[in-house]
Amino acid sequence: MTAKYPSLYQVNTRATLRELGATSLDAIPDADLDRYVELGFDWVWFLGVWQTGHGARAISRSQYESCDADDVCGSCFAVTGYEVHSDFGADAAILRLRDRLHQRGLRLMVDFVPNHTAPDHPWVTAHPDYYMEGTEDDLARSPGRYARAGSRIFAYGRDPNFDGWPDTFQLNYANPHLQRAMRDALLRIAELADGVRCYMAILLLPEVFERTWGTRPEPFWPSAIQQVRERRPEFLFLAEVYWDLEWTMQRQGFDYAYDKRLYDRLREGKAAPIRDHLRAPLDYQGRLARFIENHDEPRAAATFAEPMHRAAAMICFCAPGLRFFHQGQMEGWRQHLSVHLSRRTPEPLNDALGAFYRGLLAMLPQGQWAMLDPQPAWPGNWTHDNFIVYSWTGVLIAVNYSDIRSQCIVRADADEMRFDLEPWGFQVLQRPTALPTAG
């Protein structure tokens, strides 16, 4: 049974196995799984476990010509089938990994890529009607959005705002047979794992699909999620979401939706917009996935100066919702690894940041949560506007999210507390195992 607000750790499967010199998920050390438990995680997301093909890898190699060809694995989101990659030990290996996780009270998350497939997916020849096709005029007019495959022209997978991803072909959700096939794929995944992170889940919304492709499909997510849960009631769905569609995806049936808005506001470094964002109802807030980095975003250690990094982490991971951590985040890795590549450049460990994260994970609050309103510490002192203050059961957390020393008064029940914190400082009160004051 996971916590009300669980914690998720993301692992880059390809890079990890490459570093281990391994060809099976069986090589993931028990010591790593034990460490995830010791740190307090509930979920482990193994990114990129599915079978991919030579076609997408060849396209990736043409885009990464400056890299060693052996380092270019091709995007893990150009899937040729929902079978575990033959390089990783096939399905039997992930079932053994899932069992090892379950023995430790951990749950397994994997990817689902609903919008598109690799260009060498078997469906391209067996079921071309599953894809969005184009014409010679489309190809001539928009070569960044279409490609020829044999005698047919297929659309690249894309969102409505950009040219396509050239290592993918777009699936046609206006075809009910395709929808059925993708529901079957989800059911198969549910036999192997405990949850899915759904790549660009918003692209399947009827209104988004219509804006992109000019045809309006029947909704996919509600029926697909319901069908999976009839077999696996506790199976978890996490949606990658942008464009302020988080609430929409929650209503579609997703347990959690990416909170990209909080991430963007943390990067901006202003407290007031963050407070405004966190005033939304708790039934919405508690179903957001909070993060300050992931495989799509720049490394937090390269994005936030270290004092700001710690303050952003305190705000992000002490909010209600799914706490989403990325491999290397706690170690202070600064180099972003493309999903097209499998070799990481070794980096030194940031021991001080690691100690901070271990302390943060040890005290992540549960229970009842509320935002508190900081008030001026004295008339005319406007710096109270720099604070984010949370009240949890038995814990109060105050963060000065600014680059100047700031003061405020906070009233909680009958208590009045005064805070005077250095730039990017934070303070945790009323818990013996809390982190020490920073500033």
Q: In which band, very low, low, confident or very high, does the pLDDT at 432 lie, cut at 50, 70 and 90?
A: very low
Write out pLDDT tens, residues 312-336.
999 999 999 999 999 999 999 999 9
CA dihedral angle for residue 116, residue 118, residue 123, residue 128, rounded to 10 degrees: 70
Q: What does each C-alpha distance from 171 to 79, 107, 175, 300, 413 come to in angstroms?
A: 12, 30, 9, 34, 54
User: Quick one: which of 120, 249, 114, 89 has its CA closest to 189?
Assistant: 114
Percent of all residues in the chain with a pLDDT value above 90, rounded to a whole number: 94
**Pairing label, strands 116-117, 169-170:** antiparallel
SS3 state of residue 313: helix
Q: In which band, very low, low, confident or very high, does the pLDDT at 243 lie, cut at 50, 70 and 90?
A: very high
Identify the CATH assignment for 7-363 out of 3.20.20.80, 3.50.30.30, 3.40.190.10, 3.90.1150.10. 3.20.20.80
Residues 328 and 333: their CA atoms lie apart, in Å, by 5
SS3 state of residue 138: helix
Residue 115 tokens read as 């919008």
Give the residues across from 198 on adjacent strands.
112, 239
Q: Is the model's pLDDT at 386 over the cut of 70?
A: yes
Q: What's the whole-number mean pLDDT along residues 394-405?
A: 96
Write out pLDDT tens, residues 145-183.
999 999 999 999 999 999 999 999 999 999 999 999 999
Percent of all residues in the chain with a pLDDT value above 70, rounded to a whole number: 97
Q: What does each C-alpha distance from 70 to 62, 80, 305, 342, 347 come to in angstroms?
A: 13, 20, 34, 8, 21
pLDDT number for residue 207: 97
SS3 state of residue 383: helix
Q: What's the whole-number mean pLDDT along residues 274-300?
A: 96
Residues 397 and 208: their CA atoms lie apart, in Å, by 39
Domain boundaries, the chain: 7-363, 369-429
Residues 135 and 145: their CA atoms lie apart, in Å, by 11
Residues 328 and 353: their CA atoms lie apart, in Å, by 11
Q: What's the whole-number mean pLDDT along residues 43-64?
A: 95
Tell me the average pLDDT of the chain: 95
Residues 91 and 191: their CA atoms lie apart, in Å, by 10
Identify the CATH assignment for 369-429 out of 3.40.309.10, 2.60.40.1180, 3.40.1550.10, 3.40.50.10470. 2.60.40.1180
Provide the whole-model pTM. Answer: 0.95
pLDDT number for residue 438: 57
pLDDT number for residue 416: 87
